[in-house]
Structure 1
Amino acid sequence: MTAPLRRLPARALPAAVLATAALIAAGCGSSSSSSSNPDAIKVVATTTQLGDIVRSIGGDAVDVHQILRPNTDPHDYEPRPRDIQETADAKVVVTSGDGLDHWMGEVVDNAGGSPAVLDASDGQPVSRPGEDGEGSVDPHWWHDPRNVEHAIGAIRDALVKADPNQRAAIERGAAAYLAKVKAMDATVAKCFAAVPEAQRKLVTDHDAFGYFAQRYGLDVVGAVIPSQTTQAQPSAGDLAKLVATIKREDVKAIFPESSINSKLAKAIARQTGATADHQLYGDTLGPDGSAGDTYIKMELANADQMVQGFTGGQQRCAGAQSAAAR
């Protein structure tokens, strides 16, 4: 069952983007293909994680246009003309929701067409960490694999509804991928269980790992940007407070993120004696060939980096390394 796109506040798309998109729609554009199947379902996925998940489920049954590129910050993205054209031709649009890709509402509106729009954050089974009842929403739901398991079912159903003739292939792909996500979840949990609880103190670039911490028993001590969006800016007082907390809690590592400039995280590390050598994938997958170029590899790589950071390099997540190679 597909869910409606949440009409969150978003900037209107720049006039130049819309004008260029109109030219592309008139016949000057190019198309992308991830499938050799001429009957593949055309899907637009907003984020790198969703692009990978949809391709893993659909295989040759889907032709996926992924809007965000690796190491692109989804919080502050200006859609390209090609994104509008691809959306105009899509049968299914999959969004991450919870405000992360709020700009996609404008893309769908301006593209025309009549795609089924699935908000993958709808109906997630895991409660949002730190929800305060006053509208605070953590949009990083994929960092708890149980939410991804739910999204797999929703995406499977949306694809089958778009083309029932491809049901068998889609359902096989979804079942196989679900098994891989469950295995990854078990591997990561085992890795952290081997680290003493008192050492699992997490400081990241921004507050993107609440779901991950909640799932695996980590203590979120703080973040360089004390917000769930990278568009926020820390004040001098925020940074001073974080430095004091890191020293008081004897935090061994600050974890920069792949899509954020690490300069500030490294500066805080120098002030506190912590390391900033272990990079995480927070909002985005890494480029092809990197340790985080798929959703499953991303989470395994994050676990390995955290275990190294928490233990001062004394331990690694060996299970994550071998699982990522499969």
Structure 2
Amino acid sequence: MLTKRLERVAMVFLFLAILVALNTACANGGDRTGENGQSGKIRIVTTIAQIAEPLAVIGGDKVAVDSLMGPGVDPHLYAATQGDIKKLQSGDIVFYSGLHLEANMVKVFEQIGKERPVLAIGETLPKERLLKDPKGATDPHIWFDIDLWKQALGAATEELKKYSEADAAYFEANKKAYFEQLDALKAEALEKLGRIPAERRVLVTAHDAFGYFGRLLGLQVIGLQGLSTEDEIGLSDIEKTIDLLVDRGIPAVFVESSINPASIEAVVEGAKKRGHDVRLGGQLYSDAMGAGGTAEGTYLGMYRHNVDTIGEALASKEG
């Protein structure tokens, strides 16, 4: 209990320090040269790579994009550092996902928004298209619905066009070409996952990040943890999941690149004790993408990796 209180006190002091840094930076006008040193380009700063990489494609050679969170980083728990403040202040435009994904950074964005355009792209979407958990919390993992993500990226593109009207036609052309790739990816995903037998169309992961993915592609999704990785996993959650795996003969479950695999491993062991062998079907990218310079470091490559990994594991007759 004392440890929890000390952690809260430490977080309060960290938050106050960040506010001081923000106010100081705003008073100084920020670092307008930017860390990338690419003058003449629109400097975009984002939180997650799922926003950064597509905007780098849409923005082309007119933009320089910097993402705060790299591979393996959990945005639910992420707190801004002094280095992040410098990056945010060096940006011309800031984009973040919103919908409580970057919960520890909301006050930071409010401060930054006093000096430059800041947009939570997920909060531009129609509320009726957003998923909610049983407690009424909104699911922030919108990038797994390709149609919704196109809308969110479209809102970001409009912000870019507003910022640089002279480049509006260039951004629009790049967006149209990129969205054609997204449409092709959606068709590919529907075809590949359509091969999974009906009784095996269950996706079990460590936390509830794939709800939009399941809705779009026709899979039942079970996340041991809630929408946020701050949620606790109960023993009953594990037992119910084991029951489902045994009853439906599900052959595989999946770990996530940014989540501790312990809970999924417990499910595998529990099912084994019940006489049902469940294997780890592979690693999925949920809250973070892969390393830069790899296929999984792009939105298209990350999504395709997940589709291929899930399809191969659940359609297999092994296990």
TM range (shorter): 0.7 to 0.9
- Provide Cα deviations, 1:74-117, integer angstroms capped at 9, x if missing partner: 00011121221222233321110110013332223444752212
Structure 1 SS opposite 2:296: coil
**How far 1:260 sits from its partner (Å)?**
0.7
Q: What TM-score, normalized by structure 2, do the two folds share? A: 0.84
The 5 Å alignment of 1:202-213 reads: 202-213=203-214
Q: Structure 1 residue 271 and structure 2 residue 275: aligned?
A: no
Q: Which runs of 5+ in 2 are unaligned?
A: 1-10, 272-276
Question: Within 1, Cα distance between the matches of 2:161 and 2:29?
Answer: 30
The verdict on how the C-alpha distance between 1:52 and 1:231 changes in structure 2, with shifts beyond 3 A counting, is: same
Partner of 2:284: 280
Residue type of the alignment partner of 1:302: N
Q: Which runs of 5+ in 1 are unaligned?
A: 1-10, 315-326
User: Contact conserved, 2:79 with 2:105, CA < 8 A, in 1?
Assistant: no
Question: Within 2, Cα distance between the matches of 1:236 and 1:53?
Answer: 39
Question: Within 1, Cα distance between the matches of 2:219 and 2:251?
Answer: 14
Residue type of the alignment partner of 2:223: A
Cα-Cα RMSD:
2.6
The verdict on how the C-alpha distance between 1:217 and 1:72 changes in structure 2, with shifts beyond 3 A counting, is: same
Partner of 1:14: 15
Q: What TM-score, normalized by structure 1, do the two folds share? A: 0.83
Structure 1 SS opposite 2:283: coil
The verdict on how the C-alpha distance between 1:121 and 1:172 changes in structure 2, with shifts beyond 3 A counting, is: same
Identity of aligned residues (%): 29
- Provide Cα deviations, 1:221-268, integer angstroms capped at 9, x if missing partner: x2222x011111212222222222221222211111010111221232
Question: Within 1, Cα distance between the matches of 2:317 and 2:300?
Answer: 23
Question: Within 2, Cα distance between the matches of 1:118 and 1:110?
Answer: 13
Q: Structure 1 residue 230 and structure 2 residue 238: aligned?
A: no
Structure 2 SS opposite 1:142: helix
The verdict on how the C-alpha distance between 1:44 and 1:104 changes in structure 2, with shifts beyond 3 A counting, is: farther
Partner of 2:244: 245
Structure 2 SS opposite 1:229: coil
The 5 Å alignment of 1:48-197 reads: 48-111=49-112, 114-124=115-125, 127-129=129-131, 135-197=136-198
**How far 1:278 sits from its partner (Å)?**
1.1
User: Contact conserved, 1:191 with 1:303, CA < 8 A, in 2?
Assistant: yes
User: Contact conserved, 1:292 with 1:301, CA < 8 A, in 2?
Assistant: yes
- Provide Cα deviations, 1:143-174, integer angstroms capped at 9, x if missing partner: 01001111222111100111112223222221
